[in-house]
Amino acid sequence: MSQRLGGDEEVKGFLTTKIVFEYKRLNLPYFIRNQALVKPPDGELAYLPDILLLNRPNLVNERLWEKESTVILGASIPLVIEVFSTNWRVDYLTKVKDYEEIPIPEYWIPDYLGLGGRQFIGSPKQPTIFIHELVEEECQVSQFRGDDRIISPTFSELSLTANQIFQAGS
């Protein structure tokens, strides 16, 4: 699969639409904020996720929300999605660790081009979606490829396959 300019934006747009549909259908108090930061409570760095799902009622507990549009509490962040970037080590290693520390219950990495490290996506490389779920304060990861149905802890009824996400970026 060749890299195509704008493919990541199409994947983001596709997933945003699917996620919004689900939380509205379930009447959950969530919303997606495009320009908000996620920061580990004791960290120096903050991240600007591709898709950041926020739990509106918990934002009153966020000390940085009003002035800096920054969240630091896992209870405010049901789901984060980081569409694969060329700096895959940050998504696969650094953010997994930091998001686990916050703790964020669910973190997706859609590597729609299959360009991540072989230790993660295997050899030969192939498009893969990773869903990290926080279980007893530790991330457990599931991989989805091809016609695998995505299993989301936050949205258990989500009807979406890995290929549908990959096709959005192609």
pLDDT tens per residue across span 71-106: 999 999 999 999 987 777 788 888 999 999 999 999
Please tell me the total count of domains within the chain.
1
On whether the pTM is more than 0.75, the answer is: yes
Is residue 1 in some structural domain? no
Amino acid at 35: Q
Is residue 99 in some structural domain? yes
What's the CATH code of the domain at 24? 3.90.1570.10
Write out pLDDT tens, residues 110-154. 999 998 888 888 899 999 999 999 999 889 999 999 999 999 999
For the chain, give the mean pLDDT: 92
Q: Rounded CA gap, 71 and 63, in Å?
A: 8
Task: Name the residue range of residue 27's domain.
Answer: 7-168
Write out pLDDT tens, residues 43-53. 888 999 999 99
Q: Rounded CA gap, 87 and 47, in Å?
A: 14
Is residue 2 in some structural domain? no
Is residue 60 in some structural domain? yes
Return the number of other C-beta atoms located less than 10 Å from residue 157's C-beta. 8
Q: Rounded CA gap, 66 and 53, in Å?
A: 17
